Amino acid sequence: MKIDVLLGLQWGDEGKGKAIDVLTPTYDIVARFQGGTNAGHTLEFDNQKFILHTIPSGIFRENTKNVIGNGVIIDPYILINKEIKSIAPFADVKKNLFISLKSNLILPTHRLLDHAQEAALGNRKIGSTLKGIGPTYADKTSRKGIRIGEALLPEFKEKYAKLKQSHLQLIENMGFDYSQIKIEGLSFEAFEEQWMTALETLKGYQMVSTEYLINNALSEGKAILAEGAQGTLLDVDFGTYPYVTSSNTITAGACSGLGVGPSKIGKVYGLFKAYCTRVGAGVFPTELKDEMGEYLQNKGKEFGSTTQRPRRCGWIDLPLLKYACMVNGVTDLIITKVDVLNDLDSIKMCTDYKVNGKLTQEIPFRLDDTLEPVYKTMPGWKQELSSTQIPRQLAEYINYIADYLNQKIFLISIGPDRKDNIIF
């Protein structure tokens, strides 16, 4: 068996949680491979709404195992207090969640560092989620991080104290007074205490070498879906650097974040919205800073699942999507939030960039706001959508995108609920 991957092709929030939820009945395991509590994946079913940050989106299916892989970073406070507690009545987390012993911990001081580093950047700040993501991955790659498996060992307390001290020193050297920074509305000391309590609670959950779990399951013929977080344009190598997150969000990240070889990758589902959004700073060539942008924001309810920040909105960007398909080796496309465009007379899509007077579909090394997007306008379908019928204009719109990307679009999402889909 091969492991399929589902990931976002834009700047995140493409609807990955919902799409995974739709696909899970055919999978035995869903596994997260990167990112951390910066992610916010929304699932809606039976008139209920859930937002997951670290737990994979297969957790509500009784017979699906859910794996938090080694590439994911974990904040025990959020995992216990913001996720497990809220979903406990609806999911058997003790039975169905498996955490990699090799996952790195997001320490309370990583969150302080995130605040301090963002503040130090002033108007060049990334607009991070302030969840400690950058500093935790930086410690991981500079070999100073603490893995969750080490929390089970006697030397943990000493290692924690040393790393904490070095972080506090760093913050002081930057000229910040950490007592002024609140984490989850708490003082550092209060947060740290709750973080430690949550870490103790977490020890009651299944922590294993998930690379064995995944590879053994593949050998037994089990179907596995790897769940991406963030999106391709936030990838630390291929995204709009430095306005990116600190992990590899692309398909290759599934190999390193779960411990599976590239030969084991099967389908790659690439997910994108019918328009484009971005939270935080950074280039956004097709951004609409006008009434239309506001319209998409309101109609699409474009407010961050993790930070509640308004998401910047713009038209779909096909050259960027083509690039994302290329670096991920996408095999199947899913388009989401098509219903948000239902009332529009016409819909624009960026088909080319004008660079130095010349048209190109290739993404230049310096992607900045001086690029001029060139748009194609298509007629809207001007009607509510249902799962059983596709208006002609929508079919034309979908076929244009599929032809441009040279890929098949197999699922059209037309609402937030697990039932709101058109199989194309």
- Among the listed ranges 67-75, 319-327, 392-400, 407-415, the one in contact with ligand GDP (CB under 6 A) is 407-415
Find where tokens 């950058």 sit: 134
Q: What, of ligand IMO, Mg ion, ligand GDP, none, does residue 145 touch, CB below 5 to 8 Å by kind?
A: none
Neighbours of 342 (CB within 10 A): 16
Q: State yes or no: residue 128 binds Mg ion (CB under 5 A).
A: no
Q: What are phi and psi of 272, to 5 degrees?
A: -150, 150
Q: State yes or no: residue 413 binds ligand GDP (CB under 6 A).
A: yes
Residue 169 CB-half CA count within 13 A: 6
Give the contact letters, 42-71, x = binds to ligand GDP (CB under 6 A), - = no: x-x---------------------------
Q: What, of Mg ion, ligand GDP, ligand IMO, none, does residue 348 touch, CB below 5 to 8 Å by kind?
A: none
Q: What, of ligand IMO, Mg ion, ligand GDP, none, does residue 126 touch, CB below 5 to 8 Å by kind?
A: ligand IMO
Residue 231 CA to chain centroid, in angstroms? 6
Q: State yes or no: residue 415 binds ligand GDP (CB under 6 A).
A: yes
Minimum distance from residue 13 beta carbon to Mg ion (Å): 4
Give the contact letters, 128-157, x = binds to ligand GDP (CB under 6 A), - = no: ------------------------------
Binding ligand GDP by CB under 6 A: which of 14, 83, 114, 235?
14
For residue 78, what is the DSSP state? I
Q: State yes or no: residue 129 binds ligand IMO (CB under 6 A).
A: yes
Residue 386 burial class via C-beta count within 10 angstroms: exposed 0-12, middle 13-18, buried 19 and up: exposed
Q: State yes or no: residue 127 binds ligand IMO (CB under 6 A).
A: yes
- Among the listed ranges 78-86, 280-288, 299-307, 361-369, the one in contact with Mg ion (CB under 5 A) is 299-307
Q: How far is CA 64 from CA 26, 28, 92, in A?
A: 9, 5, 10
251 vs 305, beta carbon nearer ligand IMO: 305
Find where tokens 């399951």 sit: 217
219 vs 308, beta carbon nearer ligand GDP: 308
Which residues have a Cβ under 8 Å from the Cβ of 126 and sit 6 or more positions away?
Answer: 118, 134, 242, 243, 244, 280, 281, 282
Length of the chain: 424
Which residues have a Cβ under 8 Å from the Cβ of 231 and sit 6 or more positions away?
Answer: 7, 8, 9, 10, 11, 12, 13, 14, 239, 249, 324
- Among the listed ranges 9-17, 98-106, 325-333, 366-374, the one in contact with ligand IMO (CB under 6 A) is 9-17
Give long-range contacts, CB 8 A cutoff, 24+ apart: 59-64: 59/30, 59/87, 59/91, 59/93, 59/96, 59/97, 60/21, 60/87, 60/90, 60/91, 61/24, 61/25, 62/92, 62/96, 63/28, 64/24, 64/27, 64/28, 64/29, 64/30, 64/96
Is residue 13 among the annotated active site residues?
yes
Is residue 41 among the annotated active site residues?
yes
For ligand IMO, the binding residues in 286-315 under the rule CB under 6 A are 305
Query: What string of DSSP letters covers 234-292?
Result: G-TTTSSTTSS-SS--SHHHHHHHHT--GGGEEEEEEEEESSEEE-SSS--TTB--SHH
Q: State yes or no: residue 279 binds ligand IMO (CB under 6 A).
A: yes
Minimum distance from residue 230 beta carbon to Mg ion (Å): 8
76 vs 416, beta carbon nearer ligand GDP: 416
Catalytic residue among 4, 28, 41, 115: 41
Token pair for 300: 């699409």
Give the contact letters, 303-342, x = binds to Mg ion (CB under 5 A), - = no: --x-------------------------------------
Q: How far is CA 190 from CA 77, 108, 157, 181, 296, in A?
A: 12, 10, 18, 12, 40
Binding ligand GDP by CB under 6 A: which of 35, 36, 40, 373?
40
- Among the listed ranges 75-83, 112-120, 285-293, 332-340, the one in contact with ligand GDP (CB under 6 A) is 332-340
Q: Name the site residues for Mg ion (rule: CB under 5 A).
A: 13, 40, 305
Catalytic residues: 13, 41
Applying CB under 6 A, the residues found at the interface with ligand IMO are 8, 11-13, 35, 38-41, 126-129, 131, 133-134, 229-231, 234, 245-246, 279-280, 305
